[in-house]
Structure 1
Amino acid sequence: MHEQLPNHYREILIGVGENPEREGLLDTPKRAAKAMQYLCHGYQKSLEEVVNGALFASDNDEMVIIKDVELYSLCEHHLLPFIGKAHVAYIPTGKVLGLSKVARIVDMYARRLQIQESLTRQIAEAIQEVTRAAGVAVVIEAQHMCMMMRGVEKQNSVMNTSVMLGAFRESGSTRQEFLQLIGRGK
């Protein structure tokens, strides 16, 4: 843990009018620092580490879809959580990625200060880089606490973002098949 992080949290408590010496807050700066480090642990990981060689030869050239991958991230504008799920698809060209590695790639990028639009692109480009797939599609749907807890306070709003690469971008029917299979198509 960066040694100054708890001190910064102590100053935040003082800044919002709290007494960091009161019983309930004595260890809060230390706990908050540990929590923030955990929530941002994606910075300590690389794509190579996360994939760890889990790429396997396959003659499958049909769409592979992993739906409803839970994600938890922090909005880089307010440091408030956004929570949702990612749907990831790719069309293999000789290699498939270990199933858990897709979720680990989502987590690696989600556990950084983010905006959802960038997160969606980072996941798609990482899957493309690792698999050299004919196409990659990522759709993320998430609720943002910065919109729910402050500002406009809209409790039921959901943000959807998508990135389509290769065959998913070039072929409307491929894109539509993906969207139908994740329950978003007509």
Structure 2
Amino acid sequence: MSSMENLFTQIIQEIGEDVTREGLVDTPKRAAAAFRFLNRGYQQTLDDVLNNAIFEADTEDMVIVKDIELYSLCEHHLLPFIGKCHVAYLPTGKVLGLSKVARIVDMYARRLQIQERLTKQIADAIQQSIQPAGVAVVIEAKHLCMMMRGVEKQNSVMQTSSMLGLFRKQISTRSEFLNLINRA
């Protein structure tokens, strides 16, 4: 039994359950595997995720990938937050392979997080990777730490944004991005 499995065994016992009960016998092993999977972003680097999928492109027009689903764990309660991420950048000779944008989102989301930091990490990673003229990231998420416990507000949604380069400096560029991601 791994040390993480032992810890899950202790947690289950601490809440008053019998870990030898039929339905719980393998739970520490499954919980440890699930927790490792949910936090697999710690085992990844930006170079691993990009895997050289940066391409020359003769365009300066906005690239948007919207509605990227994300799943993360809040670092304060270890409860999930679930939502979607919208990413845009203004290329200056280089673009990312399409799936790489989603993989960057996943790499940072699959770590213990706060939404504010996650938003900035995604923007900074894209900026670092291809040095675009600007990067914009918006995340909208529901936090189970606010829904299942505490204030128990079921319909609350947190929105965060990070705007770099021209998205920060030019209101028209920022507005174009926000209008495009808000279309049905």
TM-score higher than 0.5:
yes
User: What corresponds to 1:179 in structure 2?
Assistant: 178
Letter paired with 1:151: G
Match of 1:102 in 2: 101
TM-score by length of 1: 0.97
Q: CA deviation at 1:45?
A: 0.3
> Where do 1:17-32 residues align within 5 Å?
17-32=16-31
Partners of 1:146 and 1:131 lie apart in 2 by 35
Distance in 1 (CA, whole Å) between partners of 2:142 and 2:120 is 18
Report whether the alignment pairs 1:34 with 2:33.
Answer: yes
In 1, distance between residues paired with 2:95 and 2:162?
A: 20
Is there any run of 5+ residues in structure 1 with no aligned partner, and where? none
Q: Which amino acid aligns with 2:12?
A: L
1:110-154, CA deviations, whole angstroms, 9 ceiling, x for partnerless residues?
A: 000000000000000000000100000000000000000000000
Q: Secondary structure at the match of 1:161?
A: strand
The separation in 2 between residues aligned to 1:183 and 1:23, in whole angstroms, is 48
Q: CA deviation at 1:6?
A: 0.3
For 1:23 and 1:86, how far apart are their aligned partners in 2?
40
SS at match of 2:149: coil
The corresponding residue for 1:127 is: 126
Matched, 1:164 2:168: no
Output the CA distance in 2 between the equivalents of 1:29 and 1:140.
32
Q: TM-score, normalised by structure 2?
A: 0.98
RMSD (Å) for aligned C-alpha atoms: 1.0
Q: 1:176 and 1:91 mapped to 2: Cα distance? A: 14
> Partners in 2 of 1:159 and 1:136 — Cα distance?
20
Superposed structure 1 runs of 4+ greater than 4 Å apart: none
2:115 paired residue number: 116
Letter in 1 for 2:69: E
- Quote the offset at 1:3 in angstroms: 2.1
Task: Provide structure 2 residue ranges, at least 5 long, that are not aligned to the other structure.
Answer: none
1:2-13 to structure 2, matched below 5 A, reads 3-13=2-12
**Corresponding residue pairs, total:** 183
Query: Counterpart of 1:20 in structure 2: which amino acid?
Result: V
The answer for the alignment partner of 1:89 in structure 2 is: 88
Q: How many angstroms apart in 2 are the aligned matches of 1:58 and 1:27?
A: 51
Distance in structure 2 (CA, Å) of the matches to 1:20 and 1:85? 36
| Structure 2 residue aligned with 1:72 | 71
Helix, strand or coil at the partner of 2:132: coil
Please name the residue that 2:46 is paired with: 47
Q: What percentage of aligned pairs have identical amino acids? A: 68
Letter in 2 for 1:146: C
